[in-house]
Amino acid sequence: MKYNASNQTKVDARQHGDTLQNYRYYMKPATYPNNWANNFGWAFHMTAVIDSNANKALLYCDTDGSGNARGHNANYNYVSNDNEVHAIGGDQYYCDYKLWEGAVSTQYDIRLKQRPDYRLYRASAGTTGLTTGFVNVSSPQTVVFTVPSSGVTYNFGANLAGKKFKLKFEGFGELHNLPGRVVNTCTGAVLGRYVNGGWNECYRYIHEFIIPDGTVLTNSSGGDDLKVRAMRGDEYLKKLDSIPSGVAYTKAASDLPAASTIQNLFSGDNAIGSVPETTLPSAGSGDPSVIHGKTVHSPPAN
């Protein structure tokens, strides 16, 4: 659906949360007798197994002493032709309780839920030189990092030289799937790769290593390779119960600079001016622009 003036009121008013719980579904086709309905819940749920003869045989209903499926009754006949309603034989009916009993060792639990689909649409290109239509948003890319034999800082001492790791690049400053461990920064305890027990403000996920600046990540998604440059990081200080030997402190709080030396750079006599507006160069301008390592607008030749 295209968002426009005629439908924007209804689209904006729509609640995008789960509403499947407001509906129910029949366990059998609607025309079958002895039918019943269940709630959808937070998702439409199904359990599936591989479609093979071996798995099908494991899902046959238990049989009675006569070799027919349990519950078979020869006295149930069709009114139209007097034939038996129940099929004869132990391989005529499948029973879902066999799934619950674990008759098939490999099962797939599938849940489908409602989720809105958002797409960016460029209604007006203005003076950018671009065309109107749906915006092509770059998908995440898979890049490969090979740990070099030197120049790597390890946070836990493990030597991973030569190991390869697949990382996910999701745009400027977003590089994910780095291996690491959870550390309790309040106690210094290394808790491992996975931790149970809920959220704790002292827990931090710390990477196994720091990728050196200038490292080239091989792009396995077919795009350009990426060069790494560190943007930010964390340093954790350990609390000491006593002053280390050989360290003397001779300064006091009174030695700190006076508050009067702090200057206000946003207003008053020491103001450095308003924060400049950051905008992307328009088509044909002389300003360069680089996005994700690619030059979008080149600088003028002079």
- Extract the residue ranges of the chain whose pLDDT is less than 50: none
* Spatial distance between the Cα atoms of 99 and 48, rounded to a whole number of angstroms: 9
Let me know the angle formed at the C-alpha of 221 by 220 and 223, rounded to the nearest 5 degrees: 100
According to DSSP, the residues that pair with 216 across neighbouring strands are 227
Query: In the numeric block, which tokens belong to residue 181?
Result: 């461990």
Q: What confidence score (pLDDT) does residue 3 get?
A: 61
Sequence-ordered list of residues with C-beta below 8 angstroms from that of 233, at least 6 positions apart, any chain? 210
> Which residue in 195, 178, 196 sits closest to 233, CA to CA?
178
Q: What confidence score (pLDDT) does residue 209 get?
A: 92
Cβ contact 144:84 at 8 Å = no
How many angstroms from the chain centroid is the CA of residue 190?
A: 25
Q: What confidence score (pLDDT) does residue 198 get?
A: 85
Q: What confidence score (pLDDT) does residue 172 get?
A: 79
Backbone angles phi, psi at 294, to 5 degrees: -110, 135
Cβ contact 113:81 at 8 Å = no
Cβ contact 168:175 at 8 Å = yes
pLDDT in tens, 77-106: 877 888 888 888 888 888 989 999 999 999
Sequence-ordered list of residues with C-beta below 8 angstroms from that of 23, at least 6 positions apart, any chain? 39, 40
Query: In the numeric block, which tokens belong to residue 161?
Result: 């030289």
Q: What confidence score (pLDDT) does residue 176 get?
A: 92
Q: What confidence score (pLDDT) does residue 2 get?
A: 62
pLDDT > 90: what percent of the chain? 25
Q: What confidence score (pLDDT) does residue 132 get?
A: 78
> The whole model's pTM is what?
0.46
- At 231, the amino acid letter reads M
Start-end of H helices in 14-104: 53-58, 97-101
